[in-house]
Amino acid sequence: MTVQTWTYLLVGITFALYIGIAIWSRAGSTKEFYVAGGGVSPWANGMATAADWMSAASFISMAGIISFGGYDGSVYLMGWTGGYVLLALLLAPYLRKFGKFTVPDFIGDRYYSKTARVVAVCCALLVSFTYVAGQMRGVGLVFSRFLEVDINTGVIIGMIIVLFYAVLGGMKGITYTQVAQYCVLIFAFMVPAIFISIQMTGNPIPQLGMGSSVEDGTYLLDKLNGLSQDLGFAEYTSGSKSKIDVFMITLALMVGTAGLPHVIVRFFTVKRVRDARKSAGIALLLIAILYTTAPAVAVFARTNMITTVSNQPYSEMPEWFTKWETTGLITFEDKNGDGKVQYTAFAKAENGHPANELTVDRDIMVLANPEIANLPAWVIALVAAGGLAAALSTAAGLLLVISSSVSHDLVKKTFKPDITDKQELWIARIAATVAVVIAGYFGIDPPGFVAAVVALAFGLAAASFFPAIVLGIFYKRMNKEGAVGGMIVGTLLMIFYILKFKFGVFDGGKEAVAALQSDWWFGISPEGFGSVAMAVNFIVALIVNRFTPPPPAEVQEIVETIRIPSGAGEASGH
């Protein structure tokens, strides 16, 4: 069978599975819609959390960033992995013990203020819409290549699928769908990685294959370093980013992770605080399988692409190259008229023409990797199904955050507290539907490649939620004025920086963005500026808190209570 036939078959089977699970586990109450009834087992929640966490950025884009950036791309690995550990150890158990459905719910009650709740809702919507734009872009990428439809049509198909099981099943449907999606995406990521590792190095373990030698006895990384330098690129294993920017991006991704509302809400779906800790540990192990494999996939993909394409006759390009060309995600322009593909980082060729003739969208590297390596058609199709599983699982979680923020935190808790459970459920579903349409628009007209868009969402989460959550748990004197002031200033500062340096809003539009890099504040990129905005949030919150009244005694008592481990009273004899 052809790749397209296999893709239709595997994607059709997985979509049927997701829809079947959504119908079987549809939500009948707001508790089932928001937190799956609070009775999910640690293993199921761990798998669902892993799927929710490993978005299109992890599956499709991260290895692509590493394959192009080499050492510099490792900031995403360090930031996202470290961030998950931070979330699991520092925040999840305490938030679970507080017992609220959503992050705005926690902030609204902890800071005893409708204003704090509304600000938190605005921040949750901003983070979630930025994040979901990357997921819908990932869906469009997969559909455009493997089902041979344009990216916009692919995004619309993805919207319909995710709308069905997110709106019908709520968190209950999403949880069990994400269990299936984790199985699909991890199998789809590992199978080609193992195939290619054996093919290139003879080692079936990709993590070890990356450090093994190839046929001529050269170590694979040494070979890639040599290929990169021959083409004018920096050594693959050396970095070009400044240390301050690497540090700031890593920190922003870490603390942004700990403030992501769609991941935090997963820990409300289990019965006990102990189960929240257990499911966090399980999810970390499951996430590590993909995250330790991604650098190997990046090395395999980069090496194969350079050796297959660079300085080869365009007329002899393999079928995968032609197929991806039709999507516009890989383009060739024969600038010197020699009929060969010149892929290089040199500014000028010997004849004075611009040297590089090949433009490759880094988001295609994981998806094209099995094709470049000439793997069987079913493996290529499997990767497509895995990419869709990764994008749709996270998109569903984000849409639930958006719908619950509107229905539960804005309508129920702020403006219309007397609505019935059934009315609230309907509002949640309507909000999810509207959110899907907006997310689809962002998927059709995204602000950048998948991981860059997602990195901005992490920066926004770091600038808005992280200080408010940490201070809310660990500093009982923190009051509503300080938390609200910090969130507003941190978020607005981050938005300003993104608009200025990512979109060139104040300096001539997107065309001026590249020229603005030299003007970055402290040499920090927009992806890393969330760290600075977070620090400003902390400073503003603590200063305002100093000059305003302390929170009520009952709120301070709640903060004391959520930090006491369950059973501590019995153990100490109190």
Tokens for 27, please give them. Answer: 């939500």
Residues 105-135: tens digit of each pLDDT:
889 889 998 899 999 888 888 888 877 777 7
pLDDT at residue 409 greater than cutoff 50: yes
Residues 31-80: tens digit of each pLDDT:
666 665 567 888 888 898 888 778 777 888 888 888 888 888 888 888 88
Query: Residues 131, 137, 138, CA angle at the centre, nearest 5°?
Result: 95
Give the phi and the psi of residue 213 in degrees, each rounded to 5. -95, 155
**What is the structure's pLDDT at 530?**
92
Tokens for 216, please give them. Answer: 């001529």
Write the DSSP symbol of residue 329: S
**What is the structure's pLDDT at 168?**
64
The answer to whether residues 176 and 34 touch, using CB atoms and an 8 Å cutoff, is no
Q: Mean pLDDT across the stretch 301-317? A: 88
Question: What whole-number distance in Å separates Cα of residue 55 and Cα of residue 137?
Answer: 11
CB-side neighbour CA atoms (13 Å) of 149: 15
Q: Mean pLDDT across the stretch 562-571? A: 54
Question: What whole-number distance in Å separates Cα of residue 278 and Cα of residue 43?
Answer: 8
The residues near 372 (Cβ < 8 Å, ≥ 6 apart) are 301, 304, 305, 308, 318, 320
CB-side neighbour CA atoms (13 Å) of 323: 20
Cα four-point dihedral sign 271, 277, 280, 282: negative
Taken as a whole, the chain contains a residue count of 574
Residues 440-483: tens digit of each pLDDT:
887 777 655 555 567 778 888 899 989 999 999 999 999 999 99
**What is the structure's pLDDT at 348?**
65
SS3 332: strand
Count the Cβ atoms, other than its own, within 10 Å of residue 440: 23
Residues 60-74: tens digit of each pLDDT:
888 888 888 888 888
**What is the structure's pLDDT at 468?**
93
Count the Cβ atoms, other than its own, within 10 Å of residue 214: 16
The answer to whether residues 365 and 304 touch, using CB atoms and an 8 Å cutoff, is no
**What is the structure's pLDDT at 141?**
75
Reported as a pLDDT band with limits 50, 70 and 90, residue 569 is: very low
**What is the structure's pLDDT at 26?**
67
Domain chopping of the chain, boundaries: 3-31+42-306+366-564, 308-365
The answer to whether residues 197 and 203 touch, using CB atoms and an 8 Å cutoff, is yes
CB-side neighbour CA atoms (13 Å) of 232: 11
pLDDT at residue 574 greater than cutoff 50: no
Tokens for 183, please give them. Answer: 């199985």
**What is the rounded end-to-end Cα distance, in angstroms, of the chain?**
70
The answer to whether residues 266 and 179 touch, using CB atoms and an 8 Å cutoff, is no
Cα four-point dihedral sign 464, 79, 453, 146: negative
Question: What whole-number distance in Å separates Cα of residue 427 and Cα of residue 147?
Answer: 34
> With pLDDT > 90 as the criterion, what percentage of the chain qualifies?
20
Question: What whole-number distance in Å separates Cα of residue 263 and Cα of residue 265?
Answer: 6
Q: 169 or 50, which is more confident?
A: 50
Q: What is the DSSP string of 119-131?
A: HHHHHHHHHHHHH
Give the residue from 12, 319, 1, 8 showing the smallest Cα distance to 149.
8
**What is the structure's pLDDT at 196?**
93
Question: Please, which contacts does 314-319 make with residues 24 or more away whose CB atoms are closer than 8 Å?
Answer: 314/339, 314/340, 314/341, 315/339, 317/341, 318/371, 318/372, 319/371
Count the Cβ atoms, other than its own, within 10 Å of residue 134: 33
pLDDT at residue 137 greater than cutoff 90: no
Q: Mean pLDDT across the stretch 305-331? A: 86
Q: State the burial class of residue 289 (Cβ atoms within 10 Å of its Cβ: 0-12, 13-18, 19+).
A: middle
Q: Mean pLDDT across the stretch 250-273? A: 80
Question: What whole-number distance in Å separates Cα of residue 574 and Cα of residue 571?
Answer: 8
CATH (one of 1.10.3720.10, 1.20.1730.10, 3.20.20.150, 3.40.980.10) for 3-31+42-306+366-564: 1.20.1730.10
Question: What whole-number distance in Å separates Cα of residue 185 and Cα of residue 384?
Answer: 9
The residues near 255 (Cβ < 8 Å, ≥ 6 apart) are 83, 86, 461, 462, 466, 530, 531, 534
Reported as a pLDDT band with limits 50, 70 and 90, residue 431 is: confident
Give the residue from 409, 384, 453 showing the smallest Cα distance to 132.
453
Residues 184-202: tens digit of each pLDDT:
999 999 999 999 999 999 9
Cα four-point dihedral sign 479, 480, 486, 491: positive
SS3 366: helix
Question: What whole-number distance in Å separates Cα of residue 462 and Cα of residue 255?
Answer: 5
Helix axes 114-146 and 103-110, enclosed angle (nearest 10)? 170
Tokens for 425, please give them. Answer: 């459920």
Reported as a pLDDT band with limits 50, 70 and 90, residue 176 is: confident
- CA of 142: how far to CAs of 202, 375, 383, in Å? 29, 18, 9
Lowest mean pLDDT among 134-143, 382-391, 411-420, 527-536: 134-143
**What is the structure's pLDDT at 446?**
62
Q: Mean pLDDT across the stretch 320-346? A: 83
Question: What whole-number distance in Å separates Cα of residue 226 and Cα of residue 230?
Answer: 6
**What is the structure's pLDDT at 349?**
57
SS3 330: strand
The answer to whether residues 459 and 256 touch, using CB atoms and an 8 Å cutoff, is yes
